[in-house]
Structure 1
Amino acid sequence: MSAVRSKICGITRMEDALAAVEAGADAIGFVFYAKSPRAVTVQQVRAIIKSLPPFVTTVGLFVNASRCELGEILDAVPLDLLQFHGDEPAHECESWHRPYIKALRVKAGDDIAGACNAYPTASGVLLDTYVEGVPGGTGEAFDWSLIPRGLSKPLILAGGLTPENIADAVARVRPYAVDVSGGVEASKGIKDHAKIRAFINAVRKAPY
């Protein structure tokens, strides 16, 4: 039985959040990035979070947000964890005094271990696929063999994960957690509840 945690990201609707929780998701993610097709408003997220049961981690995803914008969101929305997907340096991520994870976009030749070590206060590091000019949500997987063993932080695997490839990903990478968005969608921002269930079931059954 796999002990890998699952996060369903890019949630925009109440029914999708509740379906993810019912399927067994450990965390759900909200994208506070206007250029994303999965972008949400403070009002949307407040309403969804109010309806969640306990012990579900709520995550806010940000991409080079201004201090004013991020501060206003944090004042209005009770997020448990911050996810920084842009070029934010460690001191900026730390300055909010909240638990956070840092996303790193992976390509051949990257010093992943060094990049991970640059965020010593992060709760974990999320590895996603590098696509020029796209901070995340590409739907493309990267070469998992590029991931070094023994990273200094818990590893969250993202990028092109689907119900079909997640068992192989867990077996090969042995991550702390996995993060999916496009791989469980009917269309951008609209989740497919059957795919969510299939994804989480596959994670739970994956050899680890």
Structure 2
Amino acid sequence: MPTPQSPPSPWIKLCGWNRPEVLSEVVAAGVWPDAVGLNFYKPSPRYLSPDGARDAIRRLPEAIEAVGLFVDTPPAEIASSATALGLRTLQLHGDYTVDDLTALRLFQLIRVYRLAGNDLAPVAEDLRACERAGVRPWRCLVEPKVDGAYGGMGEVGPWDVLRSWDASWPPLILAGGLTPENIADAIRTVRPWGVDTASGVEVRRGEKDPARARAFIETARSAL
């Protein structure tokens, strides 16, 4: 039996979809991710308005989940937006505290960690604090830390270090610099539960390329 950290085919999320018509083109091709990320961080070139999010969600097949991405938004505002859009899974970037996670405990939470180096000790410390508070993230997403930015900005993470992800922690979603060209190597090296990409399937920052999205999904599905 495969462990939760190394599924036969990883969960695949394509993040930062801000043009619903391009998303429709990918879906129409019949090569589907497990989830797409809707970015509600206004400074991002991938920002999607609430009306745009409703349009994107409307175009999704039932099998593809929409995940809401928030950066330092107050928990009450997140809960209100997510409920209005019917989102059940939230991806939290920024300086969210354990109390913030507790306030959002009715949702599936993806806790994002931005690694500044090769040390997983800050992750371990935070997850211990979550455990003491009785709140456990649904999944953990790890990406490289880039000063002044939320998201890996195409930087590749420390794959060798992430191979030692503790099996008692929430399952790992690997992010950071993942492309159709390197995703197979990333999956074989790290054996994550899931993978996430944004810039890796774009022709320019904030503009998704349907052909690269399909190539990423197909390569990730066959990597193992």
Query: Is residue 138 from structure 1 mapped to residue 146 from structure 2 by the alignment?
Result: no
In the aligned structure 2, how far is the partner of 1:102 from the partner of 1:113?
A: 13
Query: Is residue 26 from structure 1 mapped to residue 34 from structure 2 by the alignment?
Result: yes
**Which residue pairs with 1:108 in the alignment?**
118
| TM-score normalised over the length of structure 1 | 0.92
1:205 deviates by: 1.2
1:20 deviates by: 4.2
Q: Secondary structure at the match of 1:23?
A: coil
Aligned residue type for 1:39: Y
1:85 to 88, 93, 96: 93
Moved more, 144-153 or 112-121: 112-121
Aligned 8 A contact 2:32 2:64 in 1: no
In the aligned structure 2, how far is the partner of 1:118 from the partner of 1:24?
A: 36
Query: Alignment length, in residue pairs?
Result: 207
1:116 deviates by: 3.7
Distance verdict in 2 for CA 1:2–1:110, change over 3 Å:
closer
**Which residue pairs with 1:129 in the alignment?**
144
Aligned 8 A contact 1:17 1:28 in 2: no
**Which residue pairs with 1:204 in the alignment?**
221
**Which residue pairs with 1:10 in the alignment?**
16
Query: Is residue 178 from structure 1 mapped to residue 195 from structure 2 by the alignment?
Result: yes
Distance verdict in 2 for CA 1:23–1:118, change over 3 Å:
farther
**Which residue pairs with 1:194 in the alignment?**
211
Which 5+ residue runs of structure 2 have no aligned equivalent? 1-6
Aligned residue type for 1:6: I
| TM-score normalised over the length of structure 2 | 0.85
Which 5+ residue runs of structure 1 have no aligned equivalent? none
Moved more, 188-197 or 13-22: 13-22
1:188 deviates by: 2.1
Aligned residue type for 2:166: G
Q: Secondary structure at the match of 2:101?
A: helix
1:160 to 177, 183, 192: 177
Q: Secondary structure at the match of 2:91?
A: strand
Distance verdict in 2 for CA 1:70–1:183, change over 3 Å:
same
1:37-76 aligned at under 5 Å gives the runs 37-67=45-75, 69-76=77-84
In the aligned structure 1, how far is the partner of 2:102 from the partner of 2:68?
A: 15
Aligned residue type for 1:14: P
Q: Secondary structure at the match of 2:107?
A: coil
1:3 deviates by: 1.4
> How high is the sequence identity, in percent, across the aligned residues?
37
Query: Is residue 169 from structure 1 mapped to residue 206 from structure 2 by the alignment?
Result: no
Measured on the aligned residues, the alpha-carbon RMSD in Å equals 1.8
